[in-house]
Amino acid sequence: MAVQSEPVRVQSPKRAAGDALNSGRPFAGPSLLSRSAPYLLLLPAILATLALLGWPLVKTFELSFQNLNKRQLILHLTEWNGFANYTDQLTSSEFWHTTGRTIAFTAVNVVLIMGGGTLVGLLLNRLGKKMRILLQAALMLAWAMPIVAAATVFSWLFDSRFGVVNWVLDQLGWHDMADYNWYSSQTGTFFVIVLLIVWQSIPFVAFNMYAGLTTIPAELYEAARMDGAGAWRIFRWVVFPSLKPFFLSTTFLEIIWVFKSFAQILAVNAGGPQGLTQTLPFYAYIQGTGNQHYGIGATIAVLTILMLVVLMAYYFRIILKQEDEL
């Protein structure tokens, strides 16, 4: 590292900084301690990351190559079985169904979140002060609701007998819905989960969007309007280019967050009916902890992580370009 390649000059960092600044003499060159200061400051963070994040990550890979079920767990046996778990999963139709379901689930959620969030952000920018504060307060509450509490509330809203949603649908003339059980079907359960996730995620996007919009100078809009641009063209040629980094990073974050969602799936209907609303993280949990096939669960986890890595790759290329400008 650079630290070692430079000539070592032993001097206290206090004196080094103090001398250089006080006496006006040319800076005497960084001492060993001041050159290693950044690494010392980073040390706790690095150690914590290695022990608490790196180790579980490595352990996940390790477990995925083991035949580890209830028996092996209790007897503390380590039985390596090579790629057996992987061939098992990669040839299992349930795994591929779950993967396809997870991708579709993520796509639907992210499109709704980004579309809805952008529109709400644009709306916030157009509203008068009072109305804006009112809407911001509502968004803030939805955003702040703990996931588990929100999921419980949604179960109540969509309760078949006394739920307010079924009552409203009935009043609107949709009489079939009067005692409809949302959790008896895949579509119904997914509808509740998606609505829950979108409801909680739009505020984040909308607030960011609004904050970004306030940084666009008014002259830009005026100039565009003078040139005869309509609302869509202003968005396409003025707003979008200015906020493109925001769009990219937020879309990416939402993809990751939705892809990983676990608590919502568990709390709304525990992956039911018949496991038809399980997505990959939940599937890994059910296989691993639920059915006590820990090795298989770890294999699904690894495959999920690999998919996330693929999703990240493109984004990180963009982020690294931006990082140069920082």
Provide the minimum distance between the beta carbon of 274 and another protein in the complex, in angstroms, as a whole number.
19
The residue type at 32: L
Using the minimum distance from each CB to another protein, give the nearer residue, 233 or 321: 321
Check whether the bond before 273 is cis (ω within 30° of 0).
yes
Sign of CA dihedral 260, 82, 50, 39: negative
Using the minimum distance from each CB to another protein, give the nearer residue, 177 or 301: 301
How far from chain centre, in Å, is Cα 245?
A: 17
Using the minimum distance from each CB to another protein, give the nearer residue, 194 or 263: 263
For residue 165, count other CB atoms closer than 10 A to its CB: 18
Provide the minimum distance between the beta carbon of 294 and another protein in the complex, in angstroms, as a whole number.
6
Written as six digits, the tokens of 316 are 């990180």
Written as six digits, the tokens of 208 are 């960011």
Using the minimum distance from each CB to another protein, give the nearer residue, 51 or 223: 51
Provide the minimum distance between the beta carbon of 67 and another protein in the complex, in angstroms, as a whole number.
14
Using the minimum distance from each CB to another protein, give the nearer residue, 90 or 164: 164
Q: Alpha-carbon distance 57 to 321, whole Å?
A: 27
Nearest by Cα to 257 from 301, 201, 181, 315: 201
Provide the minimum distance between the beta carbon of 157 and another protein in the complex, in angstroms, as a whole number.
6
Provide the minimum distance between the beta carbon of 20 and another protein in the complex, in angstroms, as a whole number.
9
User: By three-state DSSP, how is residue 79 classified?
Assistant: coil
